[in-house]
Structure 1
Amino acid sequence: ALVAHAVWTGGRADERAQVERARAELAALDTTRQTAQQIRREAGREAEAAQAELNDFAQAMRGATLAELQARRRATQDALTRLSQTLPSRFEQNRQIVTGDTAALAAGVLARIEIAKLERQLAFLKESIAIAQGNRPARVLLEKLKGELRAAATTLQAAEANCTSATKALQAFDDKWFGARWIAGGRRERRVLASEKTAACLTRDAAQEAHNALAAAIASTSLALNAGEATIDTAVIAATDAIDELERNSAERRQQLAARMEDASGGITGLAERYQLARQARGALLILLGIIAMPFVIRALFYYVVAPFAERRNAIRIALPGIGDSPLPAAEPSRISIPVTLEPGEELLIRQDYLQSSPIDAKKATRWLLDVGHSLSSIASGLFFLTRISGSGSTTVSAVKDPFAELAQITLPRGASCVLHPRALVALVQPVGETMWITSHWRLFSLNAWLTMQLRFMAFHGPARLIVKGGRGVRIEPAQAGRIFGQDQLIGFSADLVYSVTRTETFAPYLFGREQLFKDKVEQGSGILVIEEAPFAGRAAGEVRRGLEGALDAGMKAFGL
């Protein structure tokens, strides 16, 4: 982004420099145009003065003799020759036009006006001499001018048709849809059409001027022939061909500069200035920074406002009537396999995946459900199609298909209860003929229940021995003054403990998404806490499952399974 910004800034500076140069040149062209108009006005005044002088000259020569007319013609011819020699060459005139030397051009225009006056005087003298000699040459000239006028009329008509056609073509292009006009090549096509229209119409104007000049010449000749008066045509008197060419060059240059400025305004800089992209980019940057910072702001709000409020809500305590002793802590840590020796009058219910070996003379049967009263819960947590074993001997319980699972044993004396997730229960030992007493406890109106996403708690009542599994081990430890642990680590706890949530200990890991906002907490009791060492052991990258599997996990947790 920084490199792109640097390149764009450099290109923008170059474009601005080009635009400034174009504007300066346009200002110079405007000055030249104003000077040309001033020269035209001065030429008009000089032409009027020349016309008046010609009228006076005609009146003065009206009564002259043929010899006097011929002598005056020779003097006028000599003056015309001397003045013509002072005119600049074509090369010098082109240089004056290209460089915009308006002072030199103005001097040339005034010299041409004087030359035109002398030429008219000379023509008047020739016509007067011709009249004195019988008017024959003047009539021949008049017929010649009329023939040239007819040819000029034909040329003017053709030029008018070309100008009209080019104008219609340009208008048809401009009437197109905006997108069709400005696709690749559209702008160049319009410039070509505009250039053709300008050239055709300039040709038409030149033809019109030639036609008008011939018509004026015919009128002047006719007037000189019939009335003996000398006239001067304004277009001829002005002699402003150089000024006309200068204005045409200036107009073409203005079109080129306008096209260049239009191209510059159509680029990224023009778009940036037109739509104020710099200000929009600053606003977008602030919005982007707000979007990036918003999760951190929300997490800070949750950590310092919402979490302390939730901690002060009433905790969860599973109150059971007639509750007696707490479960006995495990005598040894969890391990991969546990041998179970049944006492007389006991039986073992075990999941088939955890039955590693059993005595030959043991009695075996199938137990369809762990608890018929909790049929759906038994099916959802995998406690169905259990193997029931009774008799003497030792049965080995081990995770046959799970390489990360370790097992631990919880002893529940009679009257003791333990809140447990059934998904962790792999086997239990209970008296023969008795069914494990399991009770459900809902906490729909507890904020702590909603924060832990567990709305139902299932309590297992003794006497029994429960064998539970956990990823890379199960820890059974006394609650004592209270324990804090991760929500996914919980397997179970004694029913007389107080269960709630607490804010995670450190702010920075939570702020950057490394820890959850809440952790579980048990306190105020003498029971035990059963937690899993590594809840995500065996899962890909240790992530929570997504999609339908994740939804199923969340639903089973909400229902205490």
Structure 2
Amino acid sequence: MFVAVLLSLFVAYLLVETVLPSFRDAVAERERLEAVIEEQESLNATLVDLSKTEIKRRDHLCGFRAKVIAKPAPGNVCKDAQRALDAVEEEQDRVKQKIARAKAEKEKLKSAQKSGVGWVVDRWANSWRWLCGIALLVIFLPPVLRTVGYFLLMPVVTRAHKPIHLAAGSERDNASLRARPAERTLPISLPPGEVLSARSEHVRPVRGNVRSRLLYDWTSPFVSFAAGLYGLSRITGDEDGTEATLSTPDDPNAYLMRIDFRDHPGLVMRPRHVVGVIGAPELSTRWRWGIQAFATWQVRYIMFAGTGSLIVQGSGDVVPTSPGDRSTRMEQHLVMGFDSRLTVGVNRTEVFWPYLWGRTPLVDDEFIGPHPIFWQKSSVDGPSNPIAKAFDAFFSSIGKLLGF
């Protein structure tokens, strides 16, 4: 991946350099500017060395004693040293002229670098190293974090967490629960006096009277609203026989299932899967904190208890499965709900490579007990727009945390 990114950048660089000559000139000017700055620094160093070296040589050859001795002697050492110093000063003048020309060229090149293309080239030259570092971090950090979470974090969570039992202390001997086969179109017959509250967009032909219902449960208005159980169609069975048909309006892969329960301690169901409610089961919540809540990012569970029926919707299919005495694992996004009499824990996914590639989640829900869990075959794809995806992910996380 890194090689592909680098090659793509290089090809783009070549295209830009070919299509935009100004970009190529800006690159050349920057390279020339660096060379001019280096040359100027070298000339300055040479100038200082020339001056210091020759002055030291003159002072050494022509001190006070040397001047006295040189006067009667043939030739004049001091004059020779001075002439040599004068020659050095002439060389210094030439060097100063070169420095002046280099300085003028440097100022010109700096002005050119302030142009749009030059500014881009300058920014790239100053930032490509840390940009490469960030690119490497983006590429390699996720798999590193996934590996650490799989081999170090989750084994600790699996051993340390305590499975939850939501119906502990409230189980009833005469409780019953029955799930009917899932269907794309679900017909419902209501005996006299029985009430169906369903999402209006799911209600198709109705033989009987239909009234509106603003909220399913006024004692839990927030849960009812967030679950989509508002603006409902309320259908009441009468002596002439009342029938209604439910179907999903915008998802051809959706299936509907009817779940009947009587004197039940609680059926945990994510409200977004609830399409309709028959009767008047009690809507309640259970809060659970601890390591398991940290692993699953869920602290609240919403339950329908008592006697009644739920109409639930899943993608691809809706399947009830009883784990029995042996634990059953299921990916969290496929779990629609479960019987509160089950023991619920978490475990690490058994497949490492699909998890590393992002195909499966790290944490699986684990169920033990003779009662059913309800799961869908596939999850519905979210929005394709990146901004919409970000908002959807944020609000989905909040909803998951609160049990929706």
TM-score (structure 2 length as normaliser):
0.65
- Structure 1 match to 2:398: 555
Instruction: Please tell me whether the aligned partners of residues 371 and 436 of structure 1 are also in contact (alpha carbons under 8 angstroms).
Output: no
1:160-559 map, 5 Å: 170=98, 172-176=100-104, 178-180=106-108, 292-312=139-159, 313-319=161-167, 321-324=169-172, 325=174, 327-332=176-181, 334-359=182-207, 362-390=208-236, 391=238, 392-430=241-279, 435-443=280-288, 445-480=289-324, 481-523=326-368, 525-536=369-380, 539=382, 546-559=389-402
Letter in 2 for 1:500: G
Distance 1:558 1:351 in 2: 24
Deviation at 1:294, TM superposition (A): 4.2
Q: Residue 398 of structure 2: SS of its match in structure 1?
A: helix
Distance 1:458 1:409 in 2: 18
Structure 1 unaligned blocks of 5 or more:
5-162, 185-280
Task: Flag the 1:478–1:170 CA change in 2: closer, same or farther, 3 A.
Answer: closer
Structure 2 unaligned blocks of 5 or more:
11-90, 113-128
Structure whose residues are more often helix by fraction: 1
Distance 2:380 2:137 in 1: 34
Instruction: Please tell me whether the aligned partners of residues 326 and 417 of structure 1 are also in contact (alpha carbons under 8 angstroms).
Output: no
Distance 1:557 1:164 in 2: 78
Task: Flag the 1:396–1:286 CA change in 2: closer, same or farther, 3 A.
Answer: closer
Deviation at 1:170, TM superposition (A): 4.1
Structure with larger Rg? 1
Instruction: Please tell me whether the aligned partners of residues 478 and 527 of structure 1 are also in contact (alpha carbons under 8 angstroms).
Output: yes
Instruction: Please tell me whether the aligned partners of residues 536 and 542 of structure 1 are also in contact (alpha carbons under 8 angstroms).
Output: no
Q: Residue 472 of structure 1: SS of its match in structure 2?
A: strand
More divergent stretch after superposition (455-464 vs 163-172): 163-172
Deviation at 1:314, TM superposition (A): 0.7
Q: Residue 415 of structure 1: SS of its match in structure 2?
A: strand
Distance 1:376 1:288 in 2: 43
Deviation by residue 1:202-244 (Cα, 9 ceiling, x = unmatched)? xxxxxxxxxxxxxxxxxxxxxxxxxxxxxxxxxxxxxxxxxxx
Distance 1:387 1:485 in 2: 34
Instruction: Please tell me whether the aligned partners of residues 356 and 400 of structure 1 are also in contact (alpha carbons under 8 angstroms).
Output: no
Could you tell me the percent identity over the aligned residues?
Answer: 26
Instruction: Please tell me whether the aligned partners of residues 178 and 261 of structure 2 are also in contact (alpha carbons under 8 angstroms).
Output: no
More divergent stretch after superposition (286-295 vs 365-374): 286-295
Distance 1:542 1:403 in 2: 22
Letter in 1 for 2:149: F
Distance 1:467 1:521 in 2: 24
Distance 1:397 1:403 in 2: 13
Deviation by residue 1:100-139 (Cα, 9 ceiling, x = unmatched)? xxxxxxxxxxxxxxxxxxxxxxxxxxxxxxxxxxxxxxxx
Distance 1:544 1:447 in 2: 32
Q: Residue 491 of structure 1: SS of its match in structure 2?
A: strand
Instruction: Please tell me whether the aligned partners of residues 536 and 543 of structure 1 are also in contact (alpha carbons under 8 angstroms).
Output: no
Structure whose residues are more often strand by fraction: 2
Instruction: Please tell me whether the aligned partners of residues 191 and 242 of structure 2 are also in contact (alpha carbons under 8 angstroms).
Output: no
Deviation at 1:340, TM superposition (A): 1.0
Letter in 2 for 1:423: R
Deviation at 1:545, TM superposition (A): 6.1
